[in-house]
Copies of this chain bind each other. A is one copy, B any other.
Amino acid sequence: MGLTKSEIFTDEQNRLASLFKVLGHPARVAILQYIINQKACICNDLVDELGLAQATISQHLKELKSIGIIQGTIEGKSVCYCIDEKLWKQIQEEFNTFFNQEVKVASCCS
């Protein structure tokens, strides 16, 4: 099958999972860190820094863009990718809302 049955889950569950999923690849974590630290924000520079082909980086950038955590601005021939700080914080909050749920401990676990 290989096909996630999204329809049986709540919107919230699907939303959270999709955010986690996009961040669930080391190249995408690395790209975010490079952008954050201003080591690189141009696609080609990321290609040089990470050891992946241009097509591959471009694909990862697309996925990061899909959740809005970064945005690309055309800068002459290049594209400058930046963190969308508002979304960055919003996603952090969504994660914290999830993790701040009070964990009820079952009798069988104590």
**Are the CB atoms of B91 and A109 closer together than 8 Å?**
no
Copies in the assembly, this chain: 2
B108 near A85 with CB under 8 A, answer: no
Q: Please name all residues of chain B whose beta carbon is closer than 8 Å to the beta carbon of A30 when the two chains form the complex.
A: 9-10, 13
A103-B83, A104-B38, A106-B80 known; A17-B26 Cβ under 8 A: yes
Asked if B95 and A99 make an inter-chain contact with CB atoms under 8 angstroms apart, the answer reads yes
A-side binding surface: helix, strand, loop or mixed? helix
| B26 touching A24, Cβ below 8 Å | no
Which chain B positions have C-beta within 8 A of A24?
A: 17-18, 20-24
Q: Which of B4, B25, B104 contacts A36 (CB 8 A)?
A: B104
Interface size class of A (residues with CB under 8 A): 35 or more
| A interface residues (Cβ-Cβ under 8 A, vs B) | 4-6, 8-10, 13-14, 16-18, 20-30, 33, 36-38, 41, 50-52, 73, 75, 80, 82-83, 85, 88-89, 91-92, 95-96, 98-106, 108-109
